[in-house]
């Protein structure tokens, strides 16, 4: 039986996807699950994915054989920008089938594959495909990472609306508390988003990092 893929996306870049992915992977492992993280596309790096490196640090494990084989990050580009531009800068192209095949190989060994995207859901992989197109095509449930910083409500609702329009399941909304922001805004944002989920996405779990235990019982 193949492992379950959970796609980790965010409402924006630098919102805490990498932190969330590593922490949730560690939590699953602590519950006795076999879990591996994967980065769909890494930009701004050479040779080694800095996000995979951060995952392993958060999991308190060394690089895996799958890391060394390149399965956990099939594409690494040097320029720190959107994947479509980074590929162009390096004179390369992105074949999404390569990513899919790498994920399938990981599914054969692990119960969970936490696949972290690059940036948000509407980030282009090339001039013909957005990240959300790929997520829909693969039928991956999404864990959407947000935070309490100013502007998060707008960005979160837009991302949730996009998922609804595309028919993508939002398994959980992950509320990242770090780094700390204005407490009044953060508390109000959390209150608003939890109430919004109850009304508009009643099946979606609200996870407040690092209080991640509620995800573990989700199949």
- The residues that are catalytic are 39
Q: Is there a contact between 125 and 88 (Cβ–Cβ < 8 Å)?
A: no
Determine whether the annotation assigns residue 15 to a binding site: yes
Determine whether the annotation assigns residue 118 to a binding site: yes
Q: How far is CA 3 from CA 113, 129, 155, in A?
A: 7, 26, 31
Spatial separation of the C-alpha atoms in residues 132 and 137, rounded to whole Å: 8
Spatial separation of the C-alpha atoms in residues 114 and 3, rounded to whole Å: 10
Percentages (nearest 5) of helix, strand, coil residues in the chain: 40, 20, 35
Determine whether the annotation assigns residue 43 to a binding site: yes
Determine whether the annotation assigns residue 200 to a binding site: no
Determine whether the annotation assigns residue 20 to a binding site: no
Determine whether the annotation assigns residue 203 to a binding site: no
Determine whether the annotation assigns residue 180 to a binding site: no
Residues 6+ apart with CB under 8 A from 103: 5, 38, 113, 115, 138
Of 151, 121, 146, 149, nearest in space to 136 by CA: 121
Helix (H, G, I), strand (E, B) or coil at 142: strand
Helix (H, G, I), strand (E, B) or coil at 8: strand
Which segments within 102-192 are labelled E, that is strand? 112-120, 142-147, 170-176
Determine whether the annotation assigns residue 51 to a binding site: yes
Helix (H, G, I), strand (E, B) or coil at 70: coil
Determine whether the annotation assigns residue 119 to a binding site: yes
Determine whether the annotation assigns residue 116 to a binding site: yes
Binding-site members for substrate are 43
Binding-site members for Mg(2+) are 18, 51, 116
Binding-site members for ATP are 14-19, 51, 116-119, 211
Binding-site members are 14-19, 43, 51, 116-119, 211
């Amino acid at each position: 039986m193949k492992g379950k893929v959970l796609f980790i996306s965010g409402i924006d870049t630098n919102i805490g996807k990498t932190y969330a992915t590593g922490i949730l992977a560690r939590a699953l492992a602590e519950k006795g699950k076999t879990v591996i993280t994967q980065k769909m596309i890494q930009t701004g790096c050479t040779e080694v994915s800095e996000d995979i490196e951060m995952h392993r640090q958060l999991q308190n494990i060394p690089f895996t054989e799958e890391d060394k084989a390149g399965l956990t990050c099939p594409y690494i580009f040097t320029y720190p920008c959107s994947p479509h531009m980074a590929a162009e800068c390096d004179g390369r192209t992105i074949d999404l089938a390569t990513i899919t095949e790498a994920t399938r190989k990981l599914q054969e060994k692990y119960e969970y594959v936490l696949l972290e995207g690059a940036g948000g859901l509407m980030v282009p992989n090339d001039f013909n495909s957005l990240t959300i197109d790929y997520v829909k095509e693969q039928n991956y449930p999404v864990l959407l990472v947000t935070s309490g910083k100013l502007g998060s409500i707008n960005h979160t609702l837009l991302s949730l609306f996009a998922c609804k329009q595309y028919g993508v399941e939002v398994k959980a909304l992950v509320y990242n508390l770090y780094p700390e922001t204005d407490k009044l805004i953060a508390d109000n944002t959390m209150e608003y988003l939890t109430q919004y989920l109850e009304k508009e996405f009643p099946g979606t779990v609200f996870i407040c990092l690092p209080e991640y235990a509620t995800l573990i019982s989700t199949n």
